[in-house]
Each structure stands twice: as C-alpha cells, then as structure tokens.
Amino acid sequence: MNSLSKLPNIGKVLEKKLIEVDIKTSDELQKVGVKEAFIRIYKIDTSVCIRMLYGLQGAFEGIKDTALSSDTKEDLKTFYRKIITN
C-alpha cells in the first residue's frame, strides 16, 4: 500500500479529498486515473480548480505539476471546462 502523501503535489487537503472519494493509495489513483479521480472529487466539492487537476496529473506521472507538458495541460483544460459546464 503506497501512501498518497508521498506523491508529488499531494498535500493534506488533496489527500483528504481523495480518501473521501475512496482513493486511499497511489496504486488506487493509478487504477482509477486522474480524470475519474477529479470527477469524484468534483461531485463532493464543486469549488475545486484546475490547479488541483494539474496536481493530480503530476502525482499520477510522479512529477511536479509545473513540469507537465503543454499538451497535457491543454488536454486537462479541455476536460476541466467540459466538467464544470455540465
């Protein structure tokens, strides 16, 4: 069982939100995927922002969110807009 808090970008707030949506380990995050994890969090907290989505993606990739590629960021922006407008 791998702790979420050991992943890049996962602080106490994001870790708590992930646990609330039944993602308790890094292995579970890998299995569920970033977008599904974000959707689950959004369902319990509509105030989440794109920075959290970037943080999740960085954690998923094992890098700081600031190191995400511009293509990845564009994909996430498109996804984020779709989620928050529905």
Domain ranges within the chain, ordered by starting residue: 6-85
Q: Which residues contact 25 (CB under 8 A, 6 or more apart)?
A: 1, 2, 3, 4
The pLDDT tens digits of the residues spanning 15-60 come to: 999 999 999 999 999 999 999 999 999 999 999 999 999 999 999 9
Give CA–CA dist 9/43, Å, rounded: 21
Distance CA 44, CA 67 (A): 28
**8 A C-beta contact, residue 57 and residue 13:** no
Q: Which H helix or E strand runs over 74?
A: helix 70-85
Mean pLDDT of 48-75: 97
pLDDT for 59 equals 97
CATH 1.10.10.10, applies to 6-85: no
